């Protein structure tokens, strides 16, 4: 049972580390990049996203950078985000819109890392801005000279996590579940628990912390 | 022509219907119309030039140029030359009640009823699942869209009401956490979007919508799937009935 837990912990930690390293190099680059422009940001961010998209067995469905207000100019928003193997650009028209800031300032995946200065996982939720899929979004704050400048993030679909984690989870227990910080099931071995349902650990069930925010319940009720 | 029960089904036959050409230009136009209609691009705002537009949407410069030309023909954008030139979204192009009425009158009663039923099926399914899966944060998010935000003493525009009503239903789909239902709802709102501006010009309809949104939110908060479904059915029926009544009135006048 511990082997399975370790396997899933490594899977999630792998994603978090990848994001952490990307955040670090992005902050470093921003510190030396001079005036931030859309073209310069695209040029720096896109190759990394392309790498994620073409990783064998990779879990990332989409990734990119979202600028904080002020980075590109007053009231200017900027989203450099791509998804899928053919690198479809997300929300392209928003970069030309004066109203686009409000599209993401209230979104949990932007708001929480910007408020706490800490990485955060949002979801599983229906992402109507990007993938229109059922996803988890891992976001990490970016700093420029010590000031918050935006976030980098990765979308991982609930479906790809199920593919990667379900067999291992079944090995942990026939009613084991991977849940988010809110106690919502992400992947569940129990046939009557769907991804998205709020679950409780069964009496006497073990709980294992996985990554920064997730927990595995060895059994759910 | 009748198909033999043993032959290929009618849904399979659809595979061999002709594929329309020129779709890409229409798709670019549709995206820009949608961006204007949803308030993402505002009246008077400058549009990216054809090179920027082409790069952003991943199409060729020729496609972008044709799309801009088509939008100019529709009167949605105007283009000026010179140093401060470019393409701009025309004033009052969208959202306009005139356009909405034109679209409504272009439909038959049958089409309105059918669209209403489709819309109802999706929205009601969302409501039922949303009630099962809602958290406290979900309910808070829904509450934000019960009625549009306004500054003290000001009343919301029909456009703001419509936007808020559309967001409320999308939020309901998000709370339900079904990607397929949410996508379907988005497509349907693109279809009925322009027309649903009309009922929100009626303050009575606005208040009635807010009351129904409130009732749906309470049902979702108490995990009462049946009530959430019933209230959502009332909400979608109210919109369809309003549009049908308006359709009859406008036809009688002509």
The domain boundary, picked from A121, A139, A159, lies at A159
Residues A150 and A176 in one domain: no
Beta-carbon separation of A103 and B40 below 8 A: yes
> Confidence class of residue A99 from pLDDT cuts 50, 70 and 90?
low
Residues A90 and A191 in one domain: no
- Report the domain count for chain A: 2
Question: Which of B165, B175, B133, B202 shows the shortest CA–CA distance to B38?
Answer: B165
CB A182 within 8 A of CB B135: yes
* For residue B227, pLDDT beyond 80: yes
The rounded distance, in Å, linking the Cα atoms of B230 and B100 is 28
Residues A60 and A119 in one domain: yes
pLDDT in tens, A44-67: 999 999 999 999 888 999 999 999
CA-CA distances (angstroms) from residue B128 to A70, A76, B117, B134?
42, 39, 16, 10
Residues A136 and A202 in one domain: no
Q: What is the CATH number of the domain that holds A90?
A: 3.30.450.20
Residues A127 and A47 in one domain: yes
The domain boundary, picked from A114, A137, A159, lies at A159
Residues A119 and A35 in one domain: yes
* For residue B247, pLDDT beyond 60: yes
Domains and CATH numbers, chain B: 5-89 (1.10.10.10), 97-253 (1.20.120.530)
The whole-number pLDDT of residue A107 equals: 85
The ipTM (two decimal places) reads: 0.75
Residues A137 and A202 in one domain: no
In chain A, what residues touch B52 (CB-CB under 8 Å)? Answer: 96
The domain boundary, picked from A159, A184, A205, lies at A159
pLDDT in tens, A182-219: 999 999 999 999 888 889 999 999 999 999 999 999 99
The domain in which residue A182 lies consists of 167-217
Higher pLDDT: A75 or B101? It is: B101
Residues A191 and A155 in one domain: no
Compute how many other C-beta atoms are within 10 angstroms of the C-beta atom of residue B67. Answer: 25
The whole-number pLDDT of residue B209 equals: 97
Residues A155 and A171 in one domain: no
Only one residue has tokens 């079944």, namely A170
Q: Between chain A and chain B, how many beta carbons pairs sit less than 8 Å apart?
A: 65
Residues A148 and A173 in one domain: no
pTM score: 0.81
The whole-number pLDDT of residue B101 equals: 87
The rounded distance, in Å, linking the Cα atoms of A19 and A25 is 10
Put simply, whether A195 touches B (Cβ < 8 Å) is yes
Residues A123 and A141 in one domain: yes
Residues A153 and A175 in one domain: no
Helix-strand-coil split of chain A, %, nearest 5 = 35, 30, 35
- Among chain A residues, the shortest Cα distance to B36 is held by A97
CA distance B249 to chain A (A): 37
């Amino acid at each position: 049972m511990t082997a399975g837990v370790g396997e899933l912990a490594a899977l999630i930690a792998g994603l978090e580390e990848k994001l952490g390293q990307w955040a670090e190099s992005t902050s470093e680059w921003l510190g030396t990049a001079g005036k931030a422009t859309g073209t310069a940001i695209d040029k720096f961010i896109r190759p990394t996203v392309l790498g994620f998209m073409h990783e064998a067995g990779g879990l990332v469905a989409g990734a990119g950078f979202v600028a904080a207000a002020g980075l590109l100019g007053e009231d200017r928003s900027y989203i450099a985000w791509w998804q899928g193997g053919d690198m479809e650009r997300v929300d392209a028209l928003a970069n030309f819109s004066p109203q686009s800031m409000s599209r993401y300032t209230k979104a949990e995946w932007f708001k929480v890392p910007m408020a706490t200065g800490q990485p955060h996982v949002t979801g599983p939720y229906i992402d109507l801005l990007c993938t229109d899929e059922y996803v988890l979004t891992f976001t990490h704050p970016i700093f420029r000279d010590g000031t918050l400048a935006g976030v980098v993030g990765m979308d991982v679909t609930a479906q790809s996590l199920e593919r990667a984690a379900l067999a291992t989870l079944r090995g942990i227990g026939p009613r084991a579940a991977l849940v988010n910080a809110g106690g919502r099931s992400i992947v569940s071995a129990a046939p009557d628990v769907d991804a998205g349902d709020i679950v409780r650990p069964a009496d006497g069930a073990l709980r294992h912390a996985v990554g920064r925010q997730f927990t595995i319940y060895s059994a759910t009720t | 022509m009748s198909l033999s029960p043993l032959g290929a089904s009618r849904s399979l036959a659809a595979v061999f219907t002709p594929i329309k050409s020129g779709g890409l230009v229409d798709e670019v136009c549709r995206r820009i119309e949608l961006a204007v209609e949803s308030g993402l691009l505002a009246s008077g705002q400058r549009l990216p030039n054809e090179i920027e537009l082409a790069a952003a949407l991943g199409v060729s410069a020729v496609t972008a140029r044709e799309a801009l030309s088509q939008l100019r023909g529709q009167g949605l954008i105007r283009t000026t030359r010179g140093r401060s030139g470019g393409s701009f979204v025309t004033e009052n192009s969208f959202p306009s009640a005139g356009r909405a009425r034109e679209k409504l009158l272009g439909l038959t009663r049958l089409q309105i009823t059918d669209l209403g039923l489709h819309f109802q099926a999706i929205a009601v399914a969302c409501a039922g699942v949303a009630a099962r899966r809602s958290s406290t944060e979900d309910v808070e998010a829904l509450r934000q869209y019960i009625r549009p935000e306004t500054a003290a003493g000001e009343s919301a525009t029909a456009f703001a009401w419509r936007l808020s009503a559309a967001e409320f239903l999308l939020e309901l789909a998000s709370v339900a956490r079904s990607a397929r239902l949410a996508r379907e709802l988005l497509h349907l709102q693109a279809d009925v979007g322009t027309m649903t501006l009309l009922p929100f010009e009626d303050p009575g309809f606005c208040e009635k919508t807010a009351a129904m949104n409130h009732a749906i939110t309470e049902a979702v908060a108490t995990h009462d799937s049946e009530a959430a479904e019933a209230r959502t059915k009332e909400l979608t029926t109210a919109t369809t009935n309003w549009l049908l009544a308006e359709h009859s009135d406008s036809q009688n006048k002509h």
